[in-house]
Amino acid sequence: MPVVRHRVASPILMTTKARGFVTIPVGSIIETSDSLDEPGLHSVRFGDEELFAFTRDIEERSERI
């Protein structure tokens, strides 16, 4: 699947496997290769870290670029 990039427009709370929860700040660029057609948690890349965010948060709090 191709990489899809989003610019964060409102802070997004995400979870990691190692650190628990993190907040991604406004203006950050996140990447996902998942289709956002299904609800639930989706894998997101932020820098060199794999995070997980809910589809709804990605759709409502970021803009596709």
The token pair at 19 is 């650190």
Owning domain of residue 25: 4-64
Query: Is the pLDDT assigned to residue 46 strictly greater than 90?
Result: yes
Q: Residue range 6-27: average pLDDT?
A: 93
Question: In total, how many domains does the chain have?
Answer: 1
CA distances from 20 to 3, 16, 35, 50, 57 (A): 24, 5, 24, 12, 17
39 or 63, greater pLDDT: 63
CA angle (17 as vertex; 14, 23 as ends), nearest 5: 20
Is 19 in a helix, a strand, or coil?
A: coil
> pTM of the predicted model, to two decimals?
0.86
3-state helix, strand, coil in the chain (%, to 5): 10, 50, 40
